[in-house]
Structure 1
Amino acid sequence: MTQTDSNKQLVRQAFQPWEQGDSGPFFDLVADDVKWTVIGSTPVSGVYHSKQDLIDRAFGPLLKKLEGRMTTRLVDIAGEGEKVFLQFTSYGVTKSGLKYNQTYCFAMVVRNDRIAEIVAYIDTDLLRRVLA
């Protein structure tokens, strides 16, 4: 199996439980010292240098705005060497009734069976409206 195939399989297997509502295995794959970039100029855009910082300052504020769980679905996965590109959607509703139908593309670097880097491409206008 090539490095590309191995990395894609690793990410795909970790993502599958997320489609059933359990994001834990995917985030377990993310290195504690991940370099995670959220694009744009939203309140949570920027570069995070640890998984905990990302959870505290980006995911936490978003999850506080949402009502219940989100539905997440894999759209596509591609890769080349240590790079893996994951496209997926999430659907949910905010506590104020705004639909949060988000499309994501995570451009990732997988090293030593861990996600070491992620650049998250998202609908930043939607994210800004949800966080307002």
Structure 2
Amino acid sequence: MISALRKTPTLAQDIMIAAVFIIACWAAPTNASASPSSQLEGSNEVAVRDAFEKWTAGTGNVFDLLSPNIQWTIHGSGPVADTYSGIEDFLQRGAAPLVSRLTTALKPEVHHVWAVEDRVIIRFDAEATTTSGAPYRNQFVWIFRMEDGSVVEAEAFLDLVAYQGVIDNNEPRQQ
């Protein structure tokens, strides 16, 4: 029988398993010695989760986390794909064309939030009703770079065809 298929491990295999176990235990962080990086990840994740929960409940807005000097990039191709400098630029050129054509607020459904160092990644769907009465649904991945509890850089991935369809087929709300 082939030695790799033996049911009884060899001495070398036993030593290798023990070495991997010892290294894994030695290298694993403990709660008592949590690194500043993991604490930062945790606080950033909590802040973003809290903002999304409030947005979903209609009691807050995730955009409250944005730094006034944010760099927000919408990836893809189409008129809205661009990098926006500052919150006013993003809100006016990136968000307002869509939001002005919705009669209900976008309601997010968060599927997952990941935090790695100073980044928080959010995978969510959102839907609303357009001014023509049609539904708008989209899927999003946002990547935030956080500093001192604020989002200073954001990257957005979404279906820009669906976004542009709302712009092209709906009149803005009357102010």
Does TM, scored on the shorter chain, surpass 0.5? yes
> What RMSD over aligned residues (CA atoms) do the two structures have, in Å?
1.5
> 1:10 aligned to 2:32?
no
Q: Is the 8 A contact 2:111 2:124 kept in 1?
A: yes
* Runs (5+) with no aligned partner, structure 1: none
Q: Which residue of 1 aligns with 2:27?
A: none
- Map 1:8-47 to 2 at 5 A: 8-24=45-61, 26-47=62-83
Deviating beyond 6 angstroms after TM superposition, the runs of 4 or more aligned structure 1 residues are none
Larger RCO: 1 or 2 (CA < 8 Å, sep 6+): 1
* Aligned residue identity for 2:48: V
The total of aligned residue pairs comes to 131
Higher helix residue share? 2
What TM-score comes out, normalization by structure 1 length? 0.91
Q: Would you say the 8 A contact 1:42–1:127 is kept in 2?
A: no
Question: For 1:1-132, what aligned pairs fall within 5 Å after superposition?
Answer: 2-24=39-61, 26-132=62-168
CA offset digits 1:5-62 (Å, max 9, x no partner): 12111111122110012443x2121100000001122222200011111111121111
Work out the CA distance in 1 between the residues paired with 2:60 and 2:93: 18
How far residue 97 of structure 1 moved from its aligned partner, in angstroms, is: 3.3
Identity across aligned pairs (percent)? 25
Bigger Rg, structure 1 or 2? 2
Q: Do the aligned partners of residues 104 and 23 (structure 1) sit closer, same or farther apart at CA in structure 2, a change above 3 Å counting?
A: farther
1:123 to 1:22, Cα distance in 2 relative to 1, 3 A:
farther
Aligned partner of residue 40 in structure 1, secondary structure: coil
Query: How much does 1:4 deviate?
Result: 1.3
5+ long unaligned stretches in structure 2: 1-37, 169-175
Letter in 2 for 1:58: G
